[in-house]
Structures are given as C-alpha cells and as structure tokens.
Structure 1
C-alpha cells in the first residue's frame, strides 16, 4: 500500500505528463501535468481511445501502430523517443517528446506514455531560425552594399587616375609655359635695362633731373619684373621637384659682404644695411645659390617694407652646432592675424598696400631653407619691424 501511495504521489506531482493506456489504446489514467498540456480533465479522456489527443494523420493510424508494435515490439513504430504532435481540446497542437514503457499490471499489459512538452524549445528554435534568416538578410544586404561601395571606389579610382593624368599633363604644359615665358620675357627686359642704362649715360651731359628720375623708374620696373620672373621660375622648379641642394664649403663672411654691397646699391635714400659676423669661424657647408636666394629675398623685403633713413641689421653667427642668420628691420611689421599664413604661396599681408610683390618670396625661402635641413622663424610687431632667423645645423 505504501509503495502504491508513493507511486501515485510521484505520478500526480510529475512535471512531465503521464498517460496510461491498455492494449486497445484506451486511456486508463492521466496525471495533472498531462491534463494541463492537453487542456483537458481526466473525465474528458479516461475511457476513450488515446487517438482523441492526436491530430490527423496520426489519429487514424494509431490503432494500427499499436497492433504492429504488439507484433514486432519495434519502438519506432509508435514513435517512442521521437518528437510527435499532440492535439489539445481547443483544437490547437503542440510538440512533445514521447517515451513509452510497457508494464505488467495485475496480469495484463499496459503502456505508460511520458510526455515532455517541447513548445518552448520549438519557439526558441523558430526564433533562432528567424534570427538566422534575419542575419542572412543583413549579411546579404551588407555584402551588396560592400559590393556597391567597392564598385564606387573602383570607379572613383579610375576617375582620380584620369584626373591625375590630366593634372600631370597640365603640370607639364604649365612648366613648359613658365620656362618659355620666362625666356621670352627676359630678352626684352634685358634690352629695356640696357637701353635705360644707355639713355642715362647719353643724357649725362644734359644733367636733366627728369631724365634721371624716369630712367630710375624704368630700371626699378625692370627689376621688379625680373624678381617676379625669378620667383615664378623658382616656384615652378620646386613644384616639379627639380631643386636639390648642392653643398659646397664657402666663406660665409665674404658671401654676406658681397650681398650687402650688392643690395646697398638698391636701398632707399639713407637706408643702410649693417652687416656683422659673430664667431671666429667663417666656413660653412651649404648650397650658396639657395642661401643667396634666401638672404637676398629677406633683405629685399626689409628694404621694400622699411622707410628711408632707417637701418637694416644683417647678422651671421657660426657656433659649435649651428649657423644662424638674422635680418632685422624697423618697417611696417606683420599683422598678428596674417602671421600664420606668412609662408603660404601667393599670400601677402593686408598692410602691404600698393607695395609690389607676388607673395611667393617667403614661401620659396622657407622651402629652400627646409631643403638644406634648416628652419626659419620670425618675430614681428606692427610698425615696429620684423626679425627673421634662419638656422642651419652644422657638423
């Protein structure tokens, strides 16, 4: 009696559904868990064929399944241990896993079916399938987007290649034009310069101030045009990558004195260039042509942007590890807002007014300095002047 009570308690409280049927498929018992799964009461199914809890086509075939099982004892015939489908009393179905045990009870055979609900697992599987399908759609979309992007990049690459080829062609045309124009302009400018000098010479006996004044204007204009041509030629060579430093040992003091003497001749009235060298050494190993362009450009700017009756300080110094060149004037200075753009090509400060210039000089100076591994710095205040410092490392 105690064993029977224990078995009944286990069946009644089992989480899975348990149904017993006889050899003819008639339901004899059903536990609460099975009633909950099939949405029925014991009265709804006890005494009836188990097929009432099966959807078609299993419903019509169940009796045949039992008969064949009794003949062969093959568990696969009635789906033992396999996933099957149950029919609830409201007409809905649900999946479950079935395990069947054959039991001898009071001299007869009964079959106990253990029903494990798979609804949640199936829902999870469906969700995973939906999620996987969604991921596949996303992957397909992303793949297509990536293909489109790659095609667009390839097209853009081809367009850029075409543009680069056109730009290269334009660069060659520009280079040839600048070289040709510079050559063609230099010849008439030289002729104008020579003719102005001859006019000045032939006019000396007349001692006419107006002739001297206008000849000076002609020479000044020719000088300005020559400077512009030189700037454009230098920029064109830099842009084409055709400028390489040619290092040569030379006497910096003699080099600087010659530049000072040359530029003093074009300085304004009572404008004096004061040169001074510091240190016992005078030999440096730099490119004299590039350095001369830098120094002449900076001193020419000092002359141009300073007034008459002023001093321009030009200093050189050779120390143990570097060579320092400074040019200082007392001119119009550089506005604070313009200073960050000072070394950009074609840039001119807003306070230059009608003073002629291309805006290329300082850009060329900075690039020549960099080619020789040097650096250029400056300090400037409005109407107080400007100090430029070029520093080169020396070994």
Structure 2
C-alpha cells in the first residue's frame, strides 16, 4: 500500500502529462498535469476514447497508431518520441512530444502515454527564426550599402585621377582619400562583426542551423570588406613611406606551419595545403609581419582561384645562396596578355570573373618583398595553375 501511495504521489506531481489507455483506446487514468494541458477534469476524460484529445488527422488515425505499436512492439522513449498535436477542451491546439510504453498489469496490457508540452520551445524557435530573418535582411542591406560605397569611392578616385596632371599630386590625394575612407568604415564593420559574434554566442543553446548559417554569412561578408580596407591602408602606408622592414631571426619552419594550419581552416572543400621544407637549416632573418602578409596573400589567392578537391603546394628552402619560398596551385592561371601588369596596383586579370578582390594584393606583396631585399617572380598558364617564387639573399 505504501508503494502504491508513493507511485500515485509521483504521478500526481509529475511535470509532464501521463495518460493510460486500454487496448481499445479508452482512457483509464489521467494525471493533474495532463488535465491542465488539455483543460479537462478527470471525470470528463476517463472512460472515453483518447481520440477526444486529438485534432484531425490524428483523431481518425489513432487506432492505426495503436495497431502499429502492437505490431512492432517497439516502445517510444521519452525525449526521442514523435511530435504530435493535442486538442484542448476549448478547441485550441498545442504541440507536444509523445512517448508511449506498454505496461503489463493484472494479466492485461495497458498503454501509458507521456506528454511533454513543446509550446514554449516552439514559440522560442519561431521568435529566433523571425529574429534571424530580420537580422539577415538588416545586415545584407548594410553590407550592400557598404559595398556600393566602396565602389562609389573607387569610381570617384578614378575620376579624380583622370583629372590630375601630375603623378605626385595624384599620389598625395589618393593617400589622403584612402586613409580617411578606410578609417571611417572600420567602426561600422567592427560593430557588425561584434554583433554577429554575440548573436552566435547567445544562440548556442538553441542549436539552430539557420542561425549558424546566417551568422557565418555575415562574418564572411565583413571579412571580405575588412580585407579590402586593409589592402587600401597597406597601400597608403607604403606610398607614404611609413613601412620599414625590421629583420630579426626566427624559425621559418614553425612560422610556415602556423600559416598552413590557419589557412587550411578557410580552404574550400577537399582543398589541401601541403607544406614541405628542404634543408637542415630553419632560421632566417626577415621581417615576420611583412613575410606573413606576403605568404598569406599568395596562399589565399591560390585558395580563391583554385577549385575544390585540389592541392596547394607551399615549400620553403634555406641554402647557401639564400631563402626560397614557393606557392604553387592548379587554378585558373593568368592570361599571358595580363602577366606584364600583374604587380600593378588595382590591376586584376580578365579571367577572374566575379571572384572578389581589389587588385592590390600582389602589388603590396611585391613591395613588401622588395623592402626585405627580396624578389618575387611567377610562372603561369591558363587553366594549368600558377607558381610564385620569393627569393631572399642570405644576410
């Protein structure tokens, strides 16, 4: 008797609804939580068919569900049961997760249904979907506006350039223009990046794939625009004579392995960056910041202009004559007619299509390599790939 009283107390105080029915679908018991969910009293439910708590099409199919369960004999476990809809006394419906198990009692079998209300979870999911959609529209609008502004700035720069007669005056005007525009855009871009990171953090408990997808799209767009601004700022500093090489000894192999690991994370599907070092020496005396920017730019270009399921070869060698760094890809290559202009500022090959870029990256690489007394050359064929080689003398 004591055990029976304890069991009844547990059922009566359970948070989830519990209903038992016989093999014909007639309700034998219902706990207070289930009564609260369906807005019925026990007397209004017990003895009646369970279909009274089901909206269509569940009402007409409930016998089929019972027959299916009796045939498979596979109980539905709470937490992984199917989601269904319940019908309240006032005619409203609500979602819940249903777990069903078979219980042998007094030489007969009854079925116990465990009902977990999903109303709050569904409302939260709907709010998150609405918020994510609104956020995507907002960020796309602002990102589009920023892109349009960058394009307008570029067009304005070209119009101003064509009207100037002296190259020195053009350089000074461009330097001031780029510096001002780049700094003005950093604040809103930083705000968008921070907001995207916070949204990603706060949405983690909901494990929503749509939110992760949209946040990644936001971060990707911000990354592209940030890269554009960084290129403009780097060019401005170079032309203003503010960049100097500070060469100090460091481990080239460890340096290269770190870059390989970082860029492998942003490579395309099944794209592999293969790094190899030749020789026993591993220490060089170069400017790590300038070299990191140069190597990263060349490998990033190899990723961008190569397809999926390809290899990118990254090799370093230290010998008696100096240090040699090569990056080889199997991408779209560079048309022969464009190769003589490749290191010019704002120049892009004609086969790049809609692939984003500023046309500044290789110009900056060549100038950074030059500041370290090095040289960069390349070999390329259309649709066969490109090989960039940076050489630095031994100091």
Seen in structure 2, the aligned counterparts of structure 1 residues 377 and 216 have a Cα distance that, compared at 3 Å, is: same
Q: Provide the residue aligned with 1:311 in structure 2.
A: 311
1:118-161 deviation digits (Å, cap 9, x = unpaired)? xxxxxxxxxxxxxxxxxxxxxxxxxxxxxxxxxxxxxxxxxxxx
Q: 1:330, 1:163 → 2: CA distance?
A: 42
Q: Provide the residue aligned with 2:223 in structure 1.
A: 223
Matched residue SS, 2:242? coil
The number of residues matched between the two structures is 232
Q: Please give the residue correspondences for 1:1-395 in structure 2 after superposition, counting only pairs within 5 Å.
A: 167-168=168-169, 171-395=171-395
Q: Provide the residue aligned with 1:109 in structure 2.
A: none
Structure 1 residue 201 displacement after superposition: 2.5
Structure 1 residue 171 displacement after superposition: 4.7
Structure 1 residue 163 displacement after superposition: 7.0
Q: What TM-score results when the alignment is normalised by the length of structure 2?
A: 0.56
Q: 2:272, 2:374 → 1: CA distance?
A: 28
Give ranges in structure 1 of 5+ residues lacking alignment: 1-161
Q: 1:302, 1:255 → 2: CA distance?
A: 19
Matched residue SS, 1:380? strand
Q: Provide the residue aligned with 1:107 in structure 2.
A: none
Q: 1:224, 1:380 → 2: CA distance?
A: 26
Q: 1:295, 1:209 → 2: CA distance?
A: 34
Q: 1:299, 1:262 → 2: CA distance?
A: 11
Structure 1 residue 242 displacement after superposition: 2.0
Q: 2:283, 2:372 → 1: CA distance?
A: 16
Q: 2:210, 2:338 → 1: CA distance?
A: 39
Q: 1:261, 1:182 → 2: CA distance?
A: 29
Q: 2:193, 2:327 → 1: CA distance?
A: 29
Q: 2:332, 2:356 → 1: CA distance?
A: 14
Q: 1:201, 1:334 → 2: CA distance?
A: 42
Structure 1 residue 383 displacement after superposition: 1.4
Q: 2:176, 2:360 → 1: CA distance?
A: 19
Q: What TM-score results when the alignment is normalised by the length of structure 1?
A: 0.56
Structure 1 residue 172 displacement after superposition: 4.6
Matched residue SS, 1:238? helix
Seen in structure 2, the aligned counterparts of structure 1 residues 376 and 265 have a Cα distance that, compared at 3 Å, is: same
Q: 2:168, 2:391 → 1: CA distance?
A: 36
Structure 1 residue 241 displacement after superposition: 2.0
Q: 2:272, 2:179 → 1: CA distance?
A: 36
Structure 1 residue 346 displacement after superposition: 0.8
Q: 2:355, 2:342 → 1: CA distance?
A: 16
Q: 1:344, 1:392 → 2: CA distance?
A: 21
1:71-120 deviation digits (Å, cap 9, x = unpaired)? xxxxxxxxxxxxxxxxxxxxxxxxxxxxxxxxxxxxxxxxxxxxxxxxxx
